[in-house]
C-alpha cells in the first residue's frame, strides 16, 4: 500500500522510510460505536495517511476498564502482521498527568496513554524503546483536554504508519506503568487462580494456562471449584458438552475457560471477573 | 488492489492467479464486537494478504443462531462484487465432527462450518464445487478446538483472496448440510407463512414473497392475521403509515414485512421468529 | 487509491476525473449492526468502486432520530480529508416525497435524504451546489420503497468516489431542509441553553460553546443549574474531578459538557436531550 516511496512529506518533518511498513493501524477503545469518537479518529488518520488500513479490534471495552482493554488487546495483537501500529484508548486519566506514550517492540508499535493498557500485550514482546510523546509537530494543532485519541494518538499513529522514526515523536523513557496482573498460585496439587475476563458468550476466562495445569496435574485429573460449584469435566471443545452443561476447556489462547454449552456461564454461575477459582 | 501479478508465493503452495480477483473478504459471525475474536480474524487475514479488503456484514448474530446468520448472509451476499469471499462463523459445533468447508459458486466463495449457514444464500447461486477443508498447509500452524474462525476459516479465506485455487484446500464433497428453511403454504385464496427474522427496528420479515402474493391474490385484497391481530393495510413504504400504525409492506428483498411506523412491531404484537402468519 | 486514470467507464456515463479524489466514503445510519443493511450498502459501493475506502462513523444512531444523526455527523465530518463523501441514512420518510439529495461544499460531499440530517454539519461548510438526485443511470436498476441507502445513496456515493461530476446526478435545487437546531439565549449575566446530545459515557453535551461563556462571564465564575442540581465546578478534564463527582467542562468540540467521573451523568441527574440548562 506504500506507493509514495520518493515523495517528500511537508511540515519540515523528517521521514525515515521503512520498506517493510504495511500501514496497518488497529484501534481499541472504550468509546462505543454510537457517538462520533471512533469515526473522528479514523478521519484524522486518513487525513494524514489516506493509504492506512484501519482495523477495529474493539470499541466495546467497558468504560474506563483498563484491565479489560489490556486483556482484549493482548489476545488480538499477536495475530497482526509485523509493524502493525496498535492504538489503544481506554483513558480515564486523559487531561491529567499520565503520559502519552509510544512503545516499539521487535514486532510492532503501541500508541496510547501510559496507564498499563499495553502491559499484558507487552508480556509477549521484546521492547526496543519507550517514547514519551512530546513533539507537538505530530499532534493536531489544537489539543483538547478530553480527547487525546483524536488529538495525539491518531496523528502519531498515522505518521508512524507513513514510516516516521519513533524517535521523532519525543524522548526515550525508562519505565512505563504496569497493571497488577495477578498470576495464579500453585502449591502441591492445588492451583488458585482468578477469572480475568468474561466474553460475549459468558465464557469465563481464567489466568491459569495449560502448561501450568500439565505441570501440576500430570494426569489431567482434577476438580474445579468456582463459587459454590464444582466442575469435573474438562472437554476438548463446546461440542463435547451436553446442552446447558457447565464444563471447563482450554480456550483458543491456551487458558483454562469455564463455559456452558448454549448458555452464559457467567450468568449461570453468578461469577464475575476477579472471582477465585481453585483446581485440585 | 492486486499489484503482485508475478510474485511467487512461498511455502511450496501452488498459486493460480485469477486476474478478476478483487481481494474482498466479508465476515459474518456471532462473536459480537466486545471481545478480541473479530480483530484477531482480521489480523490473521492481513498477515497472509495485507491487500485484502475486509468488510463486516454482521457480528451481532444471536449466539449460535445459525438460521439468523444464514438469513442475514443471504440478504447481503448478492450485492457484493464477483469473486467476493464470504467467511461465516456461527459455529456451535466447533471442535466436534462438523466439516470445515469451502463452496465455490459461479459468482463467489463461501468459507465456514458445514452446518447450513450458507444454505439460504446458496438458493440464489449456481454451485461449482464444494470442498472439505483438509489441507493443513493453509491453516494456522496450531489449531485450537474452539476458534476455527481464526485457525482455519480466516487463513483459507485469505489465501483464496490471493488467488489460490479452491482445489488446493481439500477434496471435493458431494453434499453439504441444508437448513430446514420452511416455505409458505398456499391453497385456494389463503397463504400460511412464518416470521423468519426480526430486524433492529422490530420489523417482522416473513417467508412470503411478492410473487406468491400476486399469484394468489390478483387484486391485492387480503387480510393478514398474526397473533391476535388483523392487519388490513399494505402500504408502499413506512412513510405511508400513520404514526404507530401497524402495516404490511413489501420489503427491500421482495418479502412481505410487518412494520409499525416509528415503533417496534415485534414488541407491539408480541410476535417472534417462527410464529405463523396467515393471508386470506 | 485511484489507479485507473485512463480507463473508460461503461454504461454511457460521463466521467470527469478529479485527481485530488481520495475515494473515501463514510457511512452514518440508524441501521444498527445486527442486520444485513450496512453490509449490503458496502457491497453495492465496492461493486461500483472496489478501491473505495469505506469508514463507519456510526450505525447506532437511535432509530429515526435525525437530530442525533445530524449532531454525530457534524462532530466527525470536519476531521476527514478533502473530497470525502459522507453518506447519511436516517430516513423515516423513505419511500415518501422527501427528496434524495447531494450537497457539495468547498471541502466535501454529503449524500442522503433531504430531511435536515446534514444541516448541523453544513453550518461549518461553504456550500457550492445542492443536487436533487434524479438520474436513474446512477441508481440500482430496481429501486425499493424502503431501502434507498442501498438503491440510491450507496451507488451515487460510489460513482462520486470515482470522480463523476455532481451535476451528472440530477438538477440543482435552491433550498434544502434545515433542522430547528436551537441556539442558546444569553441576556445580562445569564445563559439559557439545552442538552443536545448524550454520549455513550452519559456525558451531557449542551449547545453552549466556550466563546459564548467567555463573552458573558469574563471571570469564568458562574453556577450551572440543570434539573434540580447546581454545579459549581468547571474543570479542565475528567481527571480533575473526584470519583463520582458531577462537574462541567469544555468538551473536545468546544461545547459545555456535564460529566460525572467514572459514572453516567445522564442517569445520575435524570436528565435527557432537550432539557434546559441555565448558567448564571
Mean per-residue pLDDT for B22-28? 91
| pLDDT over 90 (residue C118) | yes
* B→A interface, C-beta within 8 Å: 31-40, 42-44, 46-47, 50-51, 54, 63-64, 92-98, 144-147, 150-151
B196 to chain C: which residues are within 8 Å by CB?
Answer: none
Q: Of A231-245, B52-66, C131-145, which gets the smallest average pLDDT?
A: A231-245
pLDDT given for residue B244 in this prediction? 86
- How far is Cα B203 from Cα B273, in angstroms, rounded to an integer? 11
- Read off the pLDDT of residues C181-214 as tens digits, 9 standing for 90 and up: 788 999 989 999 999 999 999 999 999 999 999 9
User: Are A22 and B94 within 8 A, CB to CB?
Assistant: no
C77 to chain A: which residues are within 8 Å by CB?
Answer: 43
pLDDT given for residue B243 in this prediction? 86
C43 to chain B: which residues are within 8 Å by CB?
Answer: 26, 55, 76-81, 84
β-pair type (C85-89, C109-113): parallel
Say which residue the cell 485429573 belongs to: A221
- How far is Cα C229 from Cα C260, in angstroms, rounded to an integer? 13
Nearest CB partner across the interface for B238, out of C38, C51, C92 = C92
pLDDT-derived band at A261, boundaries 50, 70, 90: confident
C256 to chain A: which residues are within 8 Å by CB?
Answer: none
User: Are B51 and A1 within 8 A, CB to CB?
Assistant: yes
Is the model more confident about B218 or about A246?
A246
The domain spans of chain B are 24-172, 185-279
Write down the architecture of domain A185-279 according to CATH.
Beta Barrel (2.40)
User: Are A146 and C76 within 8 A, CB to CB?
Assistant: no
Average pLDDT, chain C: 90
| pLDDT over 60 (residue A203) | yes
B201 to chain C: which residues are within 8 Å by CB?
Answer: 63
Mean per-residue pLDDT for C165-183? 94
Mean per-residue pLDDT for A126-138? 98
- To probe the interface with A, which of C31, C56, C57, C61 has the most A CB atoms within 10 Å? C57
Domain C24-172, classified CATH 3.40.640.10, yes or no: no
pLDDT-derived band at B188, boundaries 50, 70, 90: confident
| pLDDT over 90 (residue C116) | yes
User: Are B39 and A33 within 8 A, CB to CB?
Assistant: no
Q: Which chains touch A (3 or more CB pairs under 8 A)?
A: B, C
- pTM, whole model, 2 decimals? 0.91
Q: Which cell goes with C111?
A: 449524500
Nearest CB partner across the interface for C56, out of A39, A44, A144 = A39
Residue C272 has φ and ψ, to the nearest 5°, of -140, 175
pLDDT-derived band at B22, boundaries 50, 70, 90: low
pLDDT given for residue A276 in this prediction? 95
pLDDT-derived band at A14, boundaries 50, 70, 90: very low
B33 to chain C: which residues are within 8 Å by CB?
Answer: 33
User: Are C36 and B80 within 8 A, CB to CB?
Assistant: no
Nearest CB partner across the interface for A262, out of B44, B92, B147 = B92
pLDDT given for residue A180 in this prediction? 83
Nearest CA in chain A to C73: A36
pLDDT given for residue B255 in this prediction? 94
Nearest CB partner across the interface for A46, out of C53, C57, C236 = C53
The nearest CA of chain A is from the CA of B111 a distance in Å of 20
User: Are B22 and C46 within 8 A, CB to CB?
Assistant: yes
- How far is Cα B167 from Cα B16, in angstroms, rounded to an integer? 11
- How far is Cα A136 from Cα B74, in angstroms, rounded to an integer? 49
Assign 3-class secondary structure to chain A: CCCCCCCCCCCCCCCCCCCCCCCEEEEEECCCCCCCHHHHHHHHHHHHCCCCEEEEEECCCCCCCHHHHHHHHHHHHHHCCCCCEEEEECCCCCCCCCCEEEEEECCCEEEEECCCCCCCHHHHCCEEEEEEECCHHHCCCCCCCCCHHHHHHHHHHHHHHCCCCHHHHEEECCCCCCCCCCCCEEECCEEEEEEEEECCCCCEEEEEEHHHHHHHCCCCCCCEEECCEEECCECCCHHHCCCCCEEEEECCCCEEEEEECCECHHHHHCCCCCCEEEEC
- Read off the pLDDT of residues B95-149 as tens digits, 9 standing for 90 and up: 999 999 999 999 999 999 999 999 999 998 999 999 999 999 999 999 999 999 9
A73 to chain B: which residues are within 8 Å by CB?
Answer: 36
Nearest CB partner across the interface for A79, out of B34, B43, B97 = B43
Q: Which chains touch B (3 or more CB pairs under 8 A)?
A: A, C
Mean per-residue pLDDT for B177-205? 92
- Read off the pLDDT of residues C46-59 as tens digits, 9 standing for 90 and up: 999 999 999 999 99
- Read off the pLDDT of residues C138-169 as tens digits, 9 standing for 90 and up: 999 999 999 999 999 999 999 999 999 999 99
The alpha carbon torsion through B116, B120, B126, B129 (nearest 10 deg) reads: -10
pLDDT given for residue A243 in this prediction? 86
- Read off the pLDDT of residues A63-118 as tens digits, 9 standing for 90 and up: 999 999 999 999 999 999 999 999 999 999 999 999 999 999 999 999 999 999 99
Say which residue the cell 475528567 belongs to: C238
Nearest CB partner across the interface for B200, out of C35, C46, C93 = C35
**Cβ-proximal residues to B17 (8 Å cutoff; 6+ apart), any chain:** B5, B163
Q: Where are the alpha helices (DSSP H) in C77-128?
A: none
User: Are B249 and C146 within 8 A, CB to CB?
Assistant: yes
- To probe the interface with A, which of C24, C79, C264 has the most A CB atoms within 10 Å? C79
pLDDT-derived band at A22, boundaries 50, 70, 90: low
Reduce the DSSP state of residue C4 to 3 states and report it. Answer: coil
Assign 3-class secondary structure to B190-244: EEEEEEEEECCCCCEEEEEEHHHHHHHCCCCCCCEEECCEEECCECCCHHHCCCC
Q: Of A34-43, C191-200, C210-219, which gets the smallest average pLDDT?
A: C210-219
Nearest CB partner across the interface for C81, out of A32, A46, A54 = A46
B108 to chain C: which residues are within 8 Å by CB?
Answer: none
B249 to chain C: which residues are within 8 Å by CB?
Answer: 145-146
- How far is Cα A67 from Cα C110, in angstroms, rounded to an integer? 39
pLDDT-derived band at B218, boundaries 50, 70, 90: confident
Handedness of CA C264, C267, C269, C271 (dihedral sign): positive
Average pLDDT, chain B: 90
Nearest CB partner across the interface for C36, out of B24, B58, B250 = B58
Closest-CA residue to C73 (of A140, A33, A142, A40): A40
* C→B interface, C-beta within 8 Å: 31-40, 42-44, 46-47, 50-51, 54, 63-64, 92-98, 144-147, 150-151
User: How far are the Cα atoms of B22, B31, C4, C44, C137 from residue B80, in angstroms, in the given order?
Assistant: 11, 22, 21, 6, 19
- How far is Cα B43 from Cα B158, in angstroms, rounded to an integer? 11
- How far is Cα C124 from Cα C116, in angstroms, rounded to an integer? 15
Mean per-residue pLDDT for B190-212? 94
Amino acid at each position: 500500500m506504500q506507493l509514495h516511496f520518493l515523495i517528500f512529506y511537508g511540515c519540515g518533518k523528517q521521514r525515515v522510510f521503512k520498506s517493510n511498513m504495511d500501514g496497518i493501524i488497529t484501534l481499541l477503545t472504550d468509546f462505543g460505536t454510537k457517538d462520533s469518537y471512533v469515526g473522528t479518529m479514523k478521519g484524522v488518520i486518513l487525513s494524514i495517511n489516506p493509504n492506512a488500513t484501519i482495523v477495529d479490534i474493539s470499541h466495546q471495552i467497558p468504560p474506563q476498564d483498563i484491565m479489560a482493554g489490556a486483556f482484549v488487546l493482548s489476545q488480538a495483537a499477536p495475530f497482526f502482521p509485523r509493524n502493525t501500529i496498535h492504538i489503544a484508548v481506554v483513558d480515564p486519566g486523559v487531561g491529567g498527568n499520565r503520559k502519552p506514550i509510544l512503545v516499539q517492540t521487535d514486532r510492532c508499535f503501541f500508541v496510547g496513554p501510559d496507564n498499563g493498557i499495553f502491559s499484558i500485550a507487552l508480556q509477549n514482546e521484546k521492547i526496543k524503546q519507550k517514547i514519551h510523546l512530546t513533539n507537538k509537530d505530530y499532534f493536531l494543532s489544537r489539543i483538547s483536554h478530553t480527547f487525546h485519541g483524536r488529538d495525539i494518538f491518531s496523528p502519531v499513529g498515522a505518521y508512524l504508519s507513513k514510516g516516521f522514526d519513533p524517535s521523532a515523536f519525543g524522548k526515550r523513557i525508562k519505565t512505563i506503568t504496569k497493571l497488577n496482573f495477578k498470576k495464579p498460585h500453585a502449591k502441591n496439587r492445588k492451583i488458585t487462580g482468578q477469572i480475568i475476563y468474561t466474553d460475549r458468550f459468558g465464557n469465563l476466562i481464567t489466568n491459569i494456562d495449560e502448561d501450568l495445569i500439565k505441570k501440576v496435574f500430570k494426569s489431567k485429573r482434577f476438580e474445579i471449584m468456582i463459587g459454590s460449584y464444582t466442575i469435573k469435566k474438562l472437554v476438548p471443545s463446546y461440542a463435547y458438552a451436553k446442552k446447558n452443561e457447565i464444563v471447563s476447556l482450554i480456550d483458543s489462547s491456551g487458558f483454562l475457560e469455564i463455559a456452558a454449552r448454549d448458555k452464559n456461564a457467567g450468568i449461570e454461575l453468578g461469577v464475575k471477573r476477579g472471582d477465585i477459582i481453585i483446581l485440585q
